[in-house]
Chains A and B, each alone.
Chain A
Amino acid sequence: MSGPSSYQPSHPALKWFEQRLPIIGLVHSSFIAYPTPRNLNYWWTFGAILSMMLGVQILTGVILAMHYTPHADLAFKSVELIVRDVNYGWLLRNMHACGASMFFLAVYIHMFRGLYYGSYKAPREVLWILGVIIYLLMMATGFMGYVLPWGQMSFWGATVITNLFSAVPYFGESIVTLLWGGYSVGNPTLNRFFALHYLLPFLIAGVVVLHVWALHVAGQNNPAGVEPKTEKDMVPFTPYATIKDFFGVTCFLIFYSWFIFYMPNYLGEADNYIPANPAVTPAHIVPEWYYLPFYAILRSIPNKLAGVVAMFAAIIVLVFLPWLDSAKTRSNKYRPLGKQFFWIFFVVCIGLGYLGAQPPEGVYVVLGRILTVLYFAYFLIVLPLLARIEKPRPLPNSIADDVLAKSGRAAPMVSAIVAIVAAASLFAGSMGEARASEGTEMPPSAKWSFAGPFGKFDRGAVQRGLKIYKEVCSNCHSLNYVAFRNLAEPGGPGYTPAQAAAFAAEYKIKDGPNDAGDMFERPGRPADYFPAPFPNEQAARASNGGAAPPDLSLIAKARSYKRGFPWFLIDFFTQFQEQGPNYINALLQGYEDNPPHGVTIPEGSYYNKYFPGNAIKMPKPLSDGQVTFDDGSPTTVAQYAHDVSTFLMWTAEPHMEARKRLGYQVFVFLIIFAGLMYFTKKRVWAAAH
């Protein structure tokens, strides 16, 4: 993409082809012979990392679409069936869901890199603006993708975000109706979001081609920010940049795999494991972490229209950045003031992200307003002003000089990595922070056999939990996503297929219609799902004082609680993700006959110190000695609670053991491969230094 190609095919067939379609020459000149500045640091590998992430997202996305059903009544279930039944479905879904976060993380690093080194300045303005367009498309794609699982957060996220357009004067309501295809978010909305979510990534890919084209016309910027002068400043793209990019990609894959295999729900919201319910809004609505800074800007402005305008302006302002910052020096390495303000701006962005996850009240609102002002001030006041008053440090004469001067200075890079990792986890963890609930105790952390990277389900506990579910819980709670055949699958309670079939045969399953057109009952088969205790939600409500007992299949993933600072940071490294079982375990033991002084519990409710709000409609379900065990385990409420929590963790994620096992194998591979890549990269670059 940079002028006529130097590629000279020798084989006559290739020559013949090249004369008719010079595509090999194009690839050769763009990715092999293309000269790249020799002083690029690892922040420049994020371009390759982003290309890989786009590829991964498109590949996994197309595959998920083969198994997904875009219908309001079936979408949630189809996602669960992907995770439970499709071969490696859990892996593909985790790759795609965590992949979105990784894609955004990489794009933010890429953008901050461009910001720091002045990569948006002439002659790279169009390159930068194309990047902003890609970012906008990514945000739209990410948002619509988040709607597709049709959980509570999907539904209410869709409602809130589409309602942004109702701020438009005069036409607002009409626009929103148009977006929804109805009078509220519903099936037509889901269908069109699915279609667009499938379309937009290909548009992104198209703009990426333009982005790379523009890059190869203008040439890459570099940490010194000086234009290349001689051949000594450059190295050919292959092998130098290729091998470095591959090494960067491999390291990024290690980070990405940590989420896929060990923390798949760390960046997600527990509420999204509750099917969409148009009648109930979750207590705290938060967008995905990558939108949080803009969400904070939206909320900090008390006027609806102005808030929406400010939010969009916060992104659009990036388009004008090349002209707002008219300083001649590109790289902040040589701008003493520019560098400081850059880091202040970085902290402002992280701060906004943190505030976006907090409840919009008290000090958070004030802080949000201050940071919003600082955000815009950076672009509209600081950068234009610095261009006029700042005295930059002397620039190196050439890229080659820069390489010679800086040998042995890697410290800023390390500290920046630390800052970014900390910032990313602050973002992530702050979502958990948002879930404040007053007067409710935090569930104690119990010891679970399935915790940690090598965790496995305690077969005995799962079997006892199944017995408790069958004898007690199943009187009110359904288990819709669990089939009898699951009981014989590896990683579960460890029954044989014959035992599972015998277990199924104890149930009466409604089937039909038969030849006469009548419904009939027959004994259960392994392929059948656990029958629900009530025929429909209304019946469940009517029999339970107005509160429908929730389905228990996913309850261990659908319940969580705030861990607070600094626990959410530590959790990332210890792989703590047992909030759900801890909560269930605590709840089942949290009943007290007499509520504490001053607490009144309404008629028909019971006091439970771990239930949010303390008034639970479910009466104390378990008491000592209620269920007998064959294996001699104590028949106490504590044991019951532990076993049933283990069982429900298994029903929520039947392939957890497979996930951790494959994760271990992938990690061994990736670490070996990264080591090999590191030495290969060193060997290749030895010739250039």
Chain B
Amino acid sequence: MTASTADHPTRRDFLFVATGATAAVGGVAALWPFISQMNPDASTIAAGAPIEVDLTPVAEGQDIKVFWRGKPIYISHRTKKQVEEVRAVPVSSLPDPATDQSRTKDGHEQWLVVIGICTHLGCIPIAHEGNYDGFFCPCHGSQYDASGRVRQGPAPLNLPVPPYQFVSDTKIQIG
């Protein structure tokens, strides 16, 4: 009663393989919408457009926190002392070597713009805390300097710098 097709390849085998293959292709293609819908929708993407931030109210030594794409962005107006300190550190001694110059914009070295999310497990570090006059993460004790570079603790990487540019001396566009 059961159809045995294993003995010798025939046209019947070809038909069965073709049908099975078509079903498999269709099934996989049909999965795509169900996966794709999980990605950010069009309104979320549109809401993630660049934002502009006015820097005039931020005095030297102060910092502000703004949100872009749901992430807190620290904008620090660093003091001369802070800038000198972070630029004096030998880069090779850092866990994630990077110069302060590569993390700031030329001519605007007093401004530090970083995504305020600890690279360990995503908590938000506190500014002006810790041993390096930078950021201190209260969750697991990671410490960052005034350039947002990790100096101590379990965090593997520096605080990331978001894409941004100065549209004027007192205004930046993030994104």
Is B12 located at the chain interface by the 8 A CB criterion? yes
Interface string of B29-66 (1 = CB under 8 A from A): 10011101111011110110100000001000000000
B37 adjacent to A89 (CB under 8 Å):
yes
Q: A85-B41, A87-B39 are in contact. Are A680 and B19 (CB under 8 A)?
A: yes
Question: Given the complex of chains A and B, what is the CA–CA distance between A151 and B57 in angstroms?
Answer: 48
A526 adjacent to B15 (CB under 8 Å):
no
Is A84 located at the chain interface by the 8 A CB criterion? yes
B15 adjacent to A680 (CB under 8 Å):
yes
Interface string of B2-44 (1 = CB under 8 A from A): 1100000000100110110011001001001110111101111
Question: Given the complex of chains A and B, what is the CA–CA distance between A601 and B41 in angstroms?
Answer: 48
Q: Which residues of A sit under 8 angstroms from B16, Cβ to Cβ? A: 680, 683
Q: Which residues of B sit under 8 angstroms from A688, Cβ to Cβ? A: 1
Question: Given the complex of chains A and B, what is the CA–CA distance between A236 and B3 in angstroms?
Answer: 11
Q: A81-B43, A688-B1 are in contact. Are A527 and B37 (CB under 8 A)?
A: no
Question: Given the complex of chains A and B, what is the CA–CA distance between A67 and B37 in angstroms?
Answer: 9
Contact of A526 among B33, B34, B44, B46 (CB under 8 A): B46
Is A343 located at the chain interface by the 8 A CB criterion? no
A639 to chain B, nearest CB (A): 31
Which of A121-129, A210-218, A300-308, A668-676 forms contacts with chain B?
Answer: A668-676
B42 adjacent to A676 (CB under 8 Å):
no
Q: Which residues of B sit under 8 angstroms from A89, Cβ to Cβ? A: 37, 41
Q: Which residues of B sit under 8 angstroms from A86, Cβ to Cβ? A: 37, 41-42
Question: Given the complex of chains A and B, what is the CA–CA distance between A246 and B39 in angstroms?
Answer: 32
Q: Which residues of A sit under 8 angstroms from B57, Cβ to Cβ? A: 515
Question: Given the complex of chains A and B, what is the CA–CA distance between A81 and B33 in angstroms?
Answer: 16
Q: Which residues of B sit under 8 angstroms from A525, Cβ to Cβ? A: 49
Question: Given the complex of chains A and B, what is the CA–CA distance between A400 and B43 in angstroms?
Answer: 62
B169 to chain A, nearest CB (A): 20
Question: Given the complex of chains A and B, what is the CA–CA distance between A239 and B1 in angstroms?
Answer: 10
A267 to chain B, nearest CB (A): 21
Is A399 located at the chain interface by the 8 A CB criterion? no
Question: Given the complex of chains A and B, what is the CA–CA distance between A676 and B15 in angstroms?
Answer: 7
Interface string of A190-220 (1 = CB under 8 A from B): 0000000000000000000000000000000
Question: Given the complex of chains A and B, what is the CA–CA distance between A53 and B19 in angstroms?
Answer: 22
Q: Which residues of A sit under 8 angstroms from B19, Cβ to Cβ? A: 673, 676-677, 679-680
Q: Which residues of B sit under 8 angstroms from A160, Cβ to Cβ? A: none
Q: A673-B22, A673-B26 are in contact. Are A683 and B41 (CB under 8 A)?
A: no
Q: Which chain A residues in 600-630 approach chain B with CB under 8 Å?
A: none
A498 to chain B, nearest CB (A): 13
A92 adjacent to B33 (CB under 8 Å):
yes
Which single residue of chain B is at the shortest CB-CB distance from A525?
B49
Q: Which residues of A sit under 8 angstroms from B33, Cβ to Cβ? A: 87-88, 91-92
Is A419 located at the chain interface by the 8 A CB criterion? no
Is A684 located at the chain interface by the 8 A CB criterion? yes
Is A299 located at the chain interface by the 8 A CB criterion? no
A526 adjacent to B43 (CB under 8 Å):
no
B41 adjacent to A679 (CB under 8 Å):
no
Is A687 located at the chain interface by the 8 A CB criterion? yes
Q: Which residues of B sit under 8 angstroms from A683, Cβ to Cβ? A: 3, 12, 15-16
Question: Given the complex of chains A and B, what is the CA–CA distance between A66 and B39 in angstroms?
Answer: 12
Is A483 located at the chain interface by the 8 A CB criterion? yes
Is A659 located at the chain interface by the 8 A CB criterion? no
Question: Given the complex of chains A and B, what is the CA–CA distance between A526 and B49 in angstroms?
Answer: 9
Which single residue of chain B is at the shortest CB-CB distance from A60?
B34
A92 adjacent to B37 (CB under 8 Å):
yes
**Secondary structure of the A contact surface, majority rule:** helix
B1 adjacent to A236 (CB under 8 Å):
yes
Is A59 located at the chain interface by the 8 A CB criterion? yes
Q: Which residues of B sit under 8 angstroms from A489, Cβ to Cβ? A: 42
Which single residue of chain B is at the shortest CB-CB distance from A665?
B29
Q: Which residues of B sit under 8 angstroms from A483, Cβ to Cβ? A: 43, 46
Is A485 located at the chain interface by the 8 A CB criterion? yes
Q: A63-B34, A87-B36 are in contact. Are A684 and B3 (CB under 8 A)?
A: yes
Q: A63-B37, A680-B15 are in contact. Are A672 and B22 (CB under 8 A)?
A: yes
Is A235 located at the chain interface by the 8 A CB criterion? yes
A32 to chain B, nearest CB (A): 11
Q: Which chain A residues in 637-685 approach chain B with CB under 8 Å?
A: 669-670, 672-673, 676-677, 679-680, 683-684
Q: Which residues of A sit under 8 angstroms from B37, Cβ to Cβ? A: 63, 66-67, 86-89, 92
Question: Given the complex of chains A and B, what is the CA–CA distance between A673 and B20 in angstroms?
Answer: 10
Q: Which residues of B sit under 8 angstroms from A246, Cβ to Cβ? A: 23
Question: Given the complex of chains A and B, what is the CA–CA distance between A289 and B39 in angstroms?
Answer: 35
Residue among A239, A489, A676 having the largest count of chain B Cβ atoms under 10 Å: A676
Q: Which residues of A sit under 8 angstroms from B3, Cβ to Cβ? A: 239, 683-684, 687
A59 adjacent to B12 (CB under 8 Å):
no
A485 adjacent to B46 (CB under 8 Å):
yes
Q: Which residues of A sit under 8 angstroms from B39, Cβ to Cβ? A: 87
B42 adjacent to A485 (CB under 8 Å):
yes
B49 to chain A, nearest CB (A): 6
Q: Which chain B residues in 102-148 approach chain A with CB under 8 Å?
A: none
Which single residue of chain B is at the shortest CB-CB distance from A232?
B1
Which single residue of chain A is at the shortest CB-CB distance from B57?
A515
A60 to chain B, nearest CB (A): 8
Contact of B22 among A485, A526, A676 (CB under 8 A): A676
Question: Given the complex of chains A and B, what is the CA–CA distance between A409 and B167 in angstroms?
Answer: 81
Q: Which residues of A sit under 8 angstroms from B2, Cβ to Cβ? A: 236, 239, 687
Contact of B43 among A88, A527, A687 (CB under 8 A): A527
Interface string of A502-523 (1 = CB under 8 A from B): 0000000000000100000000
Question: Given the complex of chains A and B, what is the CA–CA distance between A84 and B18 in angstroms?
Answer: 37
Q: Which residues of A sit under 8 angstroms from B49, Cβ to Cβ? A: 525-527
Interface string of A145-179 (1 = CB under 8 A from B): 00000000000000000000000000000000000
Question: Given the complex of chains A and B, what is the CA–CA distance between A680 and B46 in angstroms?
Answer: 48
Question: Given the complex of chains A and B, what is the CA–CA distance between A489 and B43 in angstroms?
Answer: 12
Q: Which residues of B sit under 8 angstroms from A687, Cβ to Cβ? A: 1-3
Q: A235-B1, A676-B15 are in contact. Are A59 and B34 (CB under 8 A)?
A: yes
Interface string of A472-505 (1 = CB under 8 A from B): 0000000000010100010000000000000000
Contact of A527 among B18, B22, B26, B46 (CB under 8 A): B46
Question: Given the complex of chains A and B, what is the CA–CA distance between A667 and B15 in angstroms?
Answer: 21
Q: Which residues of A sit under 8 angstroms from B36, Cβ to Cβ? A: 87-88
Question: Given the complex of chains A and B, what is the CA–CA distance between A89 and B33 in angstroms?
Answer: 8
Q: Which residues of B sit under 8 angstroms from A66, Cβ to Cβ? A: 37-38
Which single residue of chain A is at the shortest CB-CB distance from B51?
A525
Residue among B19, B39, B44, B49 having the largest count of chain A Cβ atoms under 10 Å: B19
Write 28 A-B pairs (CB below 8 A) sorted by A numbering. Answer: A59-B34, A63-B37, A67-B41, A81-B43, A85-B43, A86-B37, A87-B37, A87-B39, A88-B32, A89-B37, A91-B33, A92-B33, A236-B1, A246-B23, A485-B42, A526-B46, A527-B46, A527-B47, A673-B26, A676-B15, A676-B18, A676-B19, A680-B15, A680-B19, A683-B15, A683-B16, A684-B3, A688-B1
The chain A residues found within 8 Å of chain B, CB to CB, are 59, 63, 66-67, 81, 84-89, 91-92, 235-236, 239, 246, 483, 485, 489, 515, 525-527, 669-670, 672-673, 676-677, 679-680, 683-684, 687-688
In addition to A67-B41, A527-B43, A680-B15, 12 A-B residue pairs with Cβ atoms within 8 Å of each other are: A85-B42, A88-B32, A235-B1, A239-B3, A489-B42, A673-B19, A673-B23, A679-B15, A679-B19, A683-B16, A687-B2, A688-B1
